[in-house]
Amino acid sequence: MRIKALLVALVSFALFIALGVWVTRHGESAALTAFQSALLNHSTLVAWWLTWACYPKFLVPLGVILLLLAWRFPAWRTRIIFSIVMLLLCWQGADISQHLFARPRRLDWVVKHETAFSYPSSHAAIVAGFYVLWAVMLYMSELPRAARATSAALLLLLSIAICWSRLALGAHYVTDLIGGALLGLALICAGLAIFPRALAPPLAGRASGAAE
């Protein structure tokens, strides 16, 4: 588990760096430019609501709620703490990387002109490192099968919708979203290489520990 997670982390991070270098030198391809232009300024109000799911005013209260749940439900404590750590790492990792690549934002924005650098998308990094992570943790949890499948599917749909919102608002390029997802994946896998049982249900963890 540790070696596989570390390999995925290294490959994802290498692809993240390579993509960032490429787009800062060559820009967006014609095909991707046409695709993201076709999505621009559609269902703008819905896109604006969705984009708030990765802003501090939403994430900070959500983090407080998760910490309260961790105190109330000890069986979920490890997973909750791991998810909050990943959220913070993805958030700050994307912010630092934006300054390193210094890719300018799109000029065809709607609703809000975001002036921070563009690559990678912090929304996509948070989506991968928090919302998709929770989809995986819930699907691998000890909850009933229907609850696991439903909650994971809803979180995956939310993740896709958040990424769509960044294109609908003209806030990012497609490659910004890909880069953010690669960064989030790299950080999650690095975390799992350090703490491989973060995704395991507590009963499964105790059982494997007893077998060892």
| Predicted pLDDT of residue 208 | 40
Reduce the secondary structure of 26-80 to three states and give it as a string: HCCCHHHHHHHHHHCCCCHHHHHHHHHHHCHHHHHHHHHHHHHHHHHCHHHHHHH
Burial 92-121 (b: 16+ CB within 10 A, else e): ebbeebbeebebebbeebeeeebeebbbbb
| Predicted pLDDT of residue 212 | 35
pLDDT band at 126 (very low <50, low <70, confident <90, very high): very high
| Predicted pLDDT of residue 205 | 42
> How many Å apart are CA 177 and CA 116, to the nearest integer?
15
> How many Å apart are CA 127 and CA 117, to the nearest integer?
18
Per residue in 9-38, pLDDT (tens digit) is: 999 999 999 999 999 999 999 999 999 999
Asked whether the beta carbons of 182 and 16 are under 8 A apart, the reply is yes
Query: With 80 as the cut, is the pLDDT of residue 204 above it?
Result: no
Query: With 90 as the cut, is the pLDDT of residue 200 above it?
Result: no
Q: Lowest mean pLDDT of 94-98, 165-169, 203-207, name the range.
A: 203-207
Question: What would the DSSP string read from start to end of 157-211?
Answer: HHHHHHHHHHHHTT---HHHHHHHHHHHHHHHHHHHHHSGGGGS-HHHHHHHHHH
Q: Which residue has the tokens 């963890």?
A: 205
Per residue in 56-97, pLDDT (tens digit) is: 999 999 999 999 999 999 889 999 999 999 999 999 999 999
Asked whether the beta carbons of 205 and 32 are under 8 A apart, the reply is no
